Amino acid sequence: MARYSAEQKESILKKLLPQHNVTVAEIVRQEHISLKTLYNWGSGVFPSKKDKWL
């Protein structure tokens, strides 16, 4: 299992921002991570927005 630094996670999560126009499916495929992992990272960065991620 690969370990990602906080900087790497942030970089991957930033791809979800509207200006990048990348889908969640594309990100998990490109980065070779699971959908659950991506959502877990997002909920860690944006805990108050957790309901919106799900």
Q: How many CA atoms lie within 13 A of 18 on its CB side?
A: 0
- Show me where the domains of the chain are located: 6-53
Q: Which helix (H) or strand (E) holds 42?
A: helix 35-45
Q: What is the pLDDT of residues 2-26, one digit of tens each?
A: 789 989 999 999 998 889 899 999 9
Burial degree of 43 (CB within 10 A; 0-12, 13-18, 19+): middle
Q: What is the pTM of this model?
A: 0.73
Distance, CA of 54 to CA of 51 (rounded, Å): 5
Where is mean pLDDT largest: 5-9, 26-30, 50-54?
26-30
